[in-house]
Chain A
Amino acid sequence: MATRAIWKGELKLGTHKVPVKLFSAIEDKSVRFHILDDTKRNRVKQHMVNTETGDEVETKEIRKGYEIEPGKFVILEEDELENLKPEPSREIEVGEFVPIDQIPQQFYERAYFLGPDGKDSEYFALAEALEKQQREGIAHWVMRNKSYTGALAGLDGYLVLSTLRNAGEVVAADDLPKVTGRAPTKKEIDLAKHLVSMLEGEFDPREFKDEYRERVLEFIAKKAKGHAPRLAPVKTKRATTSLDSVLAKSIASLKKGKRAA
């Protein structure tokens, strides 16, 4: 089932322009509930009330404040907030490129597919060029009153635009102190490497299923038919704690397991 474009824009690379449509590459499938009134089972609404008196305050009377100290707010007026909004634009400016391993993985936030919106050849040529050169474009754009920085990459012939976190949002491991305490010996590291190598495999996302989501949906389906299953309380699994000669034992048991398989 095709999805709807959430935004339309134009990639601008120097003098070249490539019109594109933006689609979310992520689909949140968490089970969402409505809140109902317990007796009548109707949907509920929300409003703002004066905390002390409980009287309703109309939306147009509401003011906004930024908390500078606990309980102390600086009032910001609507027109001031309006002024802070970036200039609306349809342009996705791609000014520079970096080799694909240059953006630390911690910066990637959310991925969008770009689809061609006219000028198909230019679109597919750009995707191919980025893949061939192993580069990502650094993109800047404004979407729904917010400025974004993103990484533009080619993926299997298509263009993917990922929003990137900004400098203040990422804590880098380089800025943190090294872990101190007893150092493992060379022999232990070799054993651990051996253990890791025995557990090496391919990344197969199909191994992961949101079983909790499935259980909730299944339960709802049964309850809808009028026979909700009885649920037992969830068990707590005890954590294991030990160390030392366990490395060698781990390898031995893995080897045994492999032979048995």
Chain B
Amino acid sequence: MPRKGTTKRSASAGSIDDDEQDRGGVRPFWSGTITFGLVSVPVNLFPANRTIRTSLRMLGPDGEPLSRRYYAEKTGKDLENDEMIRGYEVDKGKFVTVTDEELERLAPEKTRDIDLKLFVKEDAIPPLYFERGYFLTPAGNSEKAYRLLAEAMKERGDVGVATFVMRGKERPVAIFSDNGILRAETMRFPDEIRSAKQVGLPEKKKVSAATVRKFETLVKKKTKRSFSPDKDQQAEQLLKLVRKKQHKSSNVVQIKDYQRKDDGEAVDLIQVLKRSLAGKK
């Protein structure tokens, strides 16, 4: 069961939705049905965010593959997966154990619906809430219903708000109509967002109009009409270093029968989305 480099893990029962295990192929991240009123729109969900892969693999002194193992601190003995259990610390050093089965039984109902019962104006949700973006593409000949929902939302200037279950966890989601395409942004729960007061910021202070004007003048003078995002320079520099080094064979190690642990960015997300939007399977 353990795999990541931490001895803590979240409560999500990971094995609930099988189709989310495989992110490497052309398979969608999640598939389900958007309903509004009695209209249902089957959709597939693909990530709208990606990252340049910069993670490094740990290797031995001669480039031999390494594995992360758990061991019992007292005996120093390595532990197999079935020799470990999750524990929640209720008091210092006192744990309540929770099994996979218990977590699975506490998980939300396995629904595949995104039931749009509320629409709000596009700017009604503070960006603080948004966590990750996904594109929804029509599935199973749902193009017409899909276009209908996207068009109606666009004309009203509305965003749909709902909850949905992904990876054994129910989360709030906002559905945007973005250039004819539906985009879902998962949202954080409100008790995970702090207010200025909770953070402990000092009471607001009255300031002189002249000081405010000083900043207003500066802001106006330095305003550009539009935003252009930055490149990820740190990632690019790492890749540049890798390219420079890879020509010298002494810098390169090859591991036989290597089994990849993470799925990386093996697929071209844009190509997958294009195919999916064009209705090709």
Contacts and interface: CB of A to CB of B under 8 A. Distances in A.
B2 A129 contact: no
Contacts of A68: 242, 246, 252
A133 interface: yes
A188 B198 CA distance: 47
A30 B214 contact: no
Nearest to B5: A46
5 contacts: A106-B48, A166-B231, A199-B119, A201-B120, A235-B110
Contacts of A189: 148, 151-152, 155
Q: Is the interface of A mostly helix, strand, loop or mixed?
A: mixed
B118 A247 contact: no
Nearest to A114: B201
Contacts of A46: 5, 7, 68-71
Contact size class for A? 35 or more
Nearest to A107: B229
Given A63-B63, A243-B145, A246-B39, A196 B242 contact: no
A199 B120 CA distance: 9
Contact of A212 (B49, B106, B198): B106
Interface string B109-128: 11111001111110111011
Contact of B37 (A102, A149, A251): A251
Q: Is the interface of B mostly helix, strand, loop or mixed?
A: mixed
B183 to A, nearest CB: 6
A75 B230 contact: no
B119 A200 contact: yes
A75 B251 CA distance: 5
Contacts of A98: 223-227
A181 B85 contact: no
Contact size class for B? 35 or more
A234 B110 contact: yes
Contact of A54 (B78, B152, B183, B228): B78
A201 B87 contact: no
Contacts of B257: 71
Given A71-B256, A97-B219, A181 B79 contact: no
Interface in A218-261: 219-221, 223-224, 228, 231-237, 239-243, 246-247, 249-251, 253-254
A168 B270 CA distance: 12
Contacts of A219: 98, 102, 106
Contacts of A211: 108, 170
Interface string B57-84: 1111101111111111110001100111
Contacts of B82: 38
Nearest to A102: B227
Contacts of B176: 105
Given A76-B242, A106-B48, A29 B232 contact: no
B90 to A, nearest CB: 5
A65 B169 CA distance: 34
Given A120-B205, A192-B148, A203-B161, A216 B87 contact: no
A66 B279 contact: no
A231 B65 CA distance: 42
A170 B258 CA distance: 31
Given A63-B63, A237-B109, 15 more contacts: A3-B200, A36-B97, A63-B58, A66-B56, A74-B251, A125-B215, A129-B215, A133-B219, A164-B229, A164-B230, A189-B151, A189-B155, A192-B152, A196-B36, A239-B113
